[in-house]
Amino acid sequence: MAKKRILVMTGGGDCPGLNAVIRAIVRRTEQEDDWEVIGSIEAFNGLLRDPMEVVLLDSKTVSGIHIRGGTILKTTNKGGPFHWPVKNEDGTFSYVDRCDDLINRLEKLGINAVISIGGEGSMDIAQRLFEKGIPIIGVPKTIDNDLSSTDLTFGYQTSVQIATEAVDRLITTAASHNRLMILEVMGRDAGWIGLSAAIAGGAHVALIPEIPYDIDKVAAEINDRVENGRGFAIVVISEGAKSIGGNTFSRDSDQPGYQNKILGGVGHRLLEEIKDKIDVEARVMILGHLQRGGSPIAYDRVLATQFGVKSVELVLEGKFGHMVSYRHPNVVSVPIANAIEEYNYVKLDSALVHTARGVGISLGD
């Protein structure tokens, strides 16, 4: 008899731990005699292409991949079944809804369940597909840790580790030259990576999107640190940070189907804002996609593996429309609809903010 099939895919920006989830899904599914796993290449795109780009995944295919960064299934943060780009004769693009086509293709492939591993955008698509009757389970991923309804997303701790190592390294060069080093980290509209790396690395100022900064206070803090401290200063700035009354530093993408704003470069803007107010030479370093590349740390491998196993168990229970979630110390599930209701900002009264202030890190306010 034909086996029942789970279709798995990775969508949105990649992050360390995706391969560990895929491996766990395959290994847990193989414990069930009547189920198998198919992977769609580049999120739903593989399923929607002609010919389809889908692969059978077994324990041989996924052997040893949990230690590798990226995703063996590839990913995309452009387009999607509800916003599929079609090139017009004049070179411009129109966008079509291919949801019905997607449903037909799932039937044709004999898919009984879908596991979508992705961030906010992918969960939004998953919820809309669930409302169209597709039996879907969500697995939250993002280095930004900006999904609510889960204590943590995998990939986030690895990014914090990489950002922390960058702070450590910048400290030795800053101290040697008596300079200010500004380190810009990712995180979109959330300051999780920036604040955690600032605490772990011992930065002097941390500027995060949730706390608009006062430029005079930032400059005063830097000057005080340089004059009365050890002669140098480290500022960690999240890419979405802004001054009081200022804007997020972003631009539009020219890539068809790419709906997010592109962030990056706010570190240079900060230097422009303070350069006439500080008495120290300064350099800017944008960490960028280094934060997403490479092997996941052990913590993220464990979390990702837990999420993979749980997602298959939700399929077996028929708990569709749910997203896997980590609620320390348990792995549970929440309706995807609830998970996408609220963005996970760093709360101003949180322990993390309290801790940063407690060790004298200025948050620019």
Q: What residues are labeled active site?
A: 144
Residue at shortest CB range from ligand F6P:
186
Helix (H, G, I), strand (E, B) or coil at 53: coil
Quick one: 174 or 303, whose CB is closer to ligand F6P?
303
Helix (H, G, I), strand (E, B) or coil at 213: strand
Phi-psi region of 257 (alpha: psi -120 to 50; beta: other; left: phi over 0): left
For the CB of residue 72, give the shortest distance to ligand F6P in the complex, in Å. 18
Quick one: 43 or 134, whose CB is closer to ligand F6P?
43
Report the alpha-carbon angle 167-302-208, nearest 5.
35
* Segment near ligand F6P (CB under 6 A); pick from 82-90, 136-144, 277-285, 310-318: 136-144
For the CB of residue 86, give the shortest distance to ligand F6P in the complex, in Å. 21
For the CB of residue 7, give the shortest distance to ligand F6P in the complex, in Å. 23
Quick one: 178 or 255, whose CB is closer to ligand F6P?
255
For the CB of residue 120, give the shortest distance to ligand F6P in the complex, in Å. 8
For the CB of residue 127, give the shortest distance to ligand F6P in the complex, in Å. 18
Residue 185 CA to residue 344 CA, distance in Å, equals 17
For the CB of residue 294, give the shortest distance to ligand F6P in the complex, in Å. 14
Helix (H, G, I), strand (E, B) or coil at 125: helix
How many residues sit in the footprint of ligand F6P (CB under 6 A)? 12
Question: What are the φ and ψ backbone dihedral angles of 283, each rounded to 5 degrees?
Answer: -135, 155
Q: What is the 3-state secondary structure (H, E, C) of 5-26?
A: EEEEEECCCCCCCHHHHHHHHH
Encoded one letter per residue, x for contact with ligand F6P by CB under 6 A and - for no contact, window 273-292 reads -------------------x
Task: Give me the torsion for CA of 77, 78, 79, 81, rounded to 10°.
Answer: -30
Helix (H, G, I), strand (E, B) or coil at 63: coil
Residue with tokens 């464990």: 302
Encoded one letter per residue, x for contact with ligand F6P by CB under 6 A and - for no contact, window 183-212 reads ---xxx------------------------
Contacts of 365 (CB under 8 A, 6+ apart): 211, 212, 213, 214, 217
Instruction: Decide: is 144 part of the binding site for ligand F6P (CB under 6 A).
Output: yes
Instruction: Decide: is 296 part of the binding site for ligand F6P (CB under 6 A).
Output: no
Encoded one letter per residue, x for contact with ligand F6P by CB under 6 A and - for no contact, window 10-39 reads ---x--------------------------
Residue 53 burial (CB count, 10 A): 16
Encoded one letter per residue, x for contact with ligand F6P by CB under 6 A and - for no contact, window 212-251 reads ---------------------------x------------
Quick one: 29 or 153, whose CB is closer to ligand F6P?
153
Question: What are the φ and ψ backbone dihedral angles of 267, each rounded to 5 degrees?
Answer: -60, -40
Query: Which of positions 300-359 make contact with ligand F6P (CB under 6 A)?
Result: none
Query: Which of positions 39-98 make contact with ligand F6P (CB under 6 A)?
Result: 77
Residue 160 CA to residue 267 CA, distance in Å, equals 18
Residue 271 CA to residue 277 CA, distance in Å, equals 10
Quick one: 18 or 62, whose CB is closer to ligand F6P?
18
Contact positions vs ligand F6P (CB under 6 A):
13, 77, 119, 142-144, 186-188, 239, 263, 292
